């Protein structure tokens, strides 16, 4: 059993969905992030942005890269922009090593969202 844990929260706004991950993204913990991403994509109709906030992620394994690639493809098919919030080595380094830096919109802070939150959680 993994000692690493992952907590995933999401916030739905009128123009975007923000998913926040806290902890380690590895094989044993990735299911919760994948579930939240799938739910957000299903709820993305009419929204322009899906923001994946990884600024509090302490470990980002290969499964995390796979989820990013998958989410990016799904967002492109839906005409939704995927933003990845990351500024620390545990997330940025795997993305760089995999040669994926240019594929994603990476920012150090959450991009502006319409502050009118919708009550639902994806």
> For 66-110, what is each residue's pLDDT tens digit?
999 999 999 999 999 999 999 999 999 999 999 999 999 999 999
Q: Could you tell me if residue 34 is inside a domain? A: yes
CA distance readout (Å), 11 to 36, 46, 74, 80, 122: 11, 15, 19, 16, 8
Number of folded domains in the chain?
1
Between CA 84 and CA 88 the distance in angstroms is 12
Domain span at residue 52 reads 6-107
Give the CATH number for residue 53: 3.30.750.24
Between CA 74 and CA 72 the distance in angstroms is 5
Q: Could you tell me if residue 89 is inside a domain? A: yes
Q: Specify the 3-state DSSP secondary structure of 12.
A: strand
Across the chain, mean pLDDT equals 91
Query: What does the pLDDT read at residue 2?
Result: 45
Q: Specify the 3-state DSSP secondary structure of 112.
A: coil
């Amino acid at each position: 059993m993994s000692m690493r844990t992952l907590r995933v929260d999401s916030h739905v706004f009128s123009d975007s969905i923000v998913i926040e991950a806290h902890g380690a993204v590895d094989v044993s913990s990735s299911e919760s992030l994948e579930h939240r991403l799938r739910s957000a994509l299903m709820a993305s109709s009419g929204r322009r942005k899906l923001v994946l906030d990884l600024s509090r992620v302490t470990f980002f394994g290969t499964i995390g890269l796979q989820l990013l690639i998958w989410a990016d493809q799904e967002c492109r098919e839906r005409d939704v922009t995927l933003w990845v919030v990351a500024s620390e080595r545990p997330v940025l380094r795997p993305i760089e090593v995999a040669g994926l830096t240019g594929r994603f919109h990476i920012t150090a802070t959450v991009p502006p969202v319409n502050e009118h939150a919708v009550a639902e959680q994806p």
